Amino acid sequence: MNMKRPLAFLLAAGMTLGLTACGDPSQPGSSNAPASSSPSANSPDSSAVTLDLWSFNIGSFTEASNWDSILTAFNDKYPDITVNVTPINYQDGDQKLTSAITSGSGPDIIFEGPERIVGNYAREGLMVDLSDLWSKSGSDIAEGISSVSQLDGTYYMYPLSAAAHCMAINYEVFEAAGALQYIDEETRTWSTDDFKAAMEAIKTAIDNGTVSVATPGIVYCGAQGGDQGTRALVNNLYSDYYVTEDGTSYNANSAKNVQALTLLKDMVKNGSLSANASYAAAEELQAFANQTCAVTFCWNYSNYTQYAEQAQFTPFAMAFPSDDKVPALEMAGPYGFGVFDKGDQAKIDAAKTFIDFVCNDQTVGTQAVKTTGFFPVHSDWGDVYAGDADAELRAPFALMSDYLGRYYNLTGGWTEQRALWWPMLAEILTTDADVQTAADNYVNQANANIK
């Protein structure tokens, strides 16, 4: 099956073209899609509306204060709508949301991605239909993003930004080991055979004392943090997919995925990789930054900025290796907004006005996109980082968006299967378990949670 580069090229165009201004982009209120008018926002006799926005810690949206300039611009235009921001994180945010929703004190707006907004809350019937926002301003958003913002034809999320997860190599270690010959530095791609050869070259360099890293790479399998990296590694090696094409079943036990898992097991056995059942991505990233390993399987611009000061080498972003050198990367995001249906039409209208302003006003939206650290979903906005001091550093991550694959995080039982994936990896890579049997067991358990 063809799983390569299924996203429409609108998203990629939005990351490479120059800015396209409609109106004066220097004015916060100017946009090719001005904020919508709602009775709660603009009617002279309307009552003031207060909204609660709960924001996951996406990019630099880790503190409520990071929303201040956006809220100030919004209130300049809509003074009757007050938005109170509560930051939440991925450690306990889901539990806090569930508790608040159950007690009737949940937020009006959530800032996150389709996995939660669509896959969890819309599926439970908790979200407001945002199709009107899409009809008005969503024509330049890639089909791959629009398709995951809806459930059964109804849009429940309106997106702001997206990017691609990738991996990275220690450039100097690869150079010293003679392994740069196995990567395409321009496209930042490599084949599965190239990957094997590069890891073997680094192992040889370690054995010879040519490089000081302890291991070529670490497959982390001790928790679910950063599991998008190990999923992408397995699925790309022989060009398969995490779920079946119709999304009705998990797919780790397919012939190609079992081949990939077997390859990783063999590489761990021969020392060209290692596996660590006590590591999640955070520990592996620290090992990469400390030059304990020569690659990381969990990389994006946010991780680059987090570890840049520690890394006394050049972290070189790479797509995951694939047998045909055409990778299909996992999407970071898309991140955007959903509105909880609490039966208050004035709040619903005000929430839509806020989302429309943040996501569709080009000036304020660009600021919000940059705060996430990703790239705009509006292709008409072009390269929002052009001219910035870090534009050159961001360029490789924009390139990775050319390789975006299908988004499969809306498959039923998603949360439950995440708790099954890394134990399967640990079983395969750190014991003598039969690969096919372990993969079959994972799929059977994961599929049992699909509703």
318: domain CATH number is: 3.40.190.10
91-137 confidence digits (pLDDT tens): 899 999 999 999 999 999 999 999 999 999 999 999 999 999 999 99
What is the number of domains present in the chain? 2
Same domain for 199 and 294, yes or no, is yes
Is residue 5 included in any domain, yes or no?
no
**What whole-number distance in Å separates Cα of residue 201 and Cα of residue 180?**
10
Helix count (H) and strand count (E) of the chain? 18, 13
Same domain for 108 and 129, yes or no, is yes
Same domain for 394 and 321, yes or no, is no
The one-letter code for the residue type at 404 is L
409-446 confidence digits (pLDDT tens): 889 899 899 999 999 999 999 999 999 999 999 999 99
Is residue 89 included in any domain, yes or no?
yes
Assigned token pair, 410: 């809306």
pLDDT over 50 at 34, yes or no: no
Same domain for 14 and 136, yes or no, is yes
Is residue 3 included in any domain, yes or no?
no
Same domain for 112 and 254, yes or no, is no
Is residue 15 included in any domain, yes or no?
yes
Query: Which range marks the domain in which residue 256 is found?
Result: 166-328+412-447
pLDDT over 90 at 247, yes or no: no
Is residue 2 included in any domain, yes or no?
no
Same domain for 362 and 305, yes or no, is no
Same domain for 300 and 429, yes or no, is yes
Is residue 114 included in any domain, yes or no?
yes
Beta pairing, strands 166-170 & 295-299: antiparallel
**What whole-number distance in Å separates Cα of residue 352 and Cα of residue 334?**
18
Is residue 101 included in any domain, yes or no?
yes
> Helix 255-270 to helix 227-237 angle, to the nearest 10 degrees?
110
Is residue 360 included in any domain, yes or no?
yes
Assigned token pair, 24: 């004066």
The DSSP output letter for 18 is: P
pLDDT over 90 at 32, yes or no: no
CB neighbour class for 92 (10 Å; exposed up to 12, middle 13-18, buried from 19) = exposed
Instruction: Give the closest residue to 300 by CA, choosing from 414, 204, 162, 193.
Output: 162
DSSP for 201-258 reads: HHHHHHHHTSS--SBS-EEE-SSSTTHHHHHHHHHHHTT--SB-TTSSSB-TTSHHHH
Same domain for 434 and 377, yes or no, is no
Same domain for 111 and 228, yes or no, is no
Same domain for 339 and 431, yes or no, is no
pLDDT bin (cut points 50, 70, 90) of residue 173 is very high
Least confident residue range of 7-16, 185-194, 233-242, 310-319 = 7-16
pLDDT over 50 at 33, yes or no: no
Same domain for 33 and 156, yes or no, is yes
Q: What is the pLDDT of residue 46?
A: 54
Instruction: Give the closest residue to 264 by CA, choosing from 253, 254, 255, 274.
Output: 274
Q: What is the pLDDT of residue 15?
A: 39
Q: Are 447 and 249 in contact (CB under 8 A)?
A: yes
Same domain for 80 and 31, yes or no, is yes
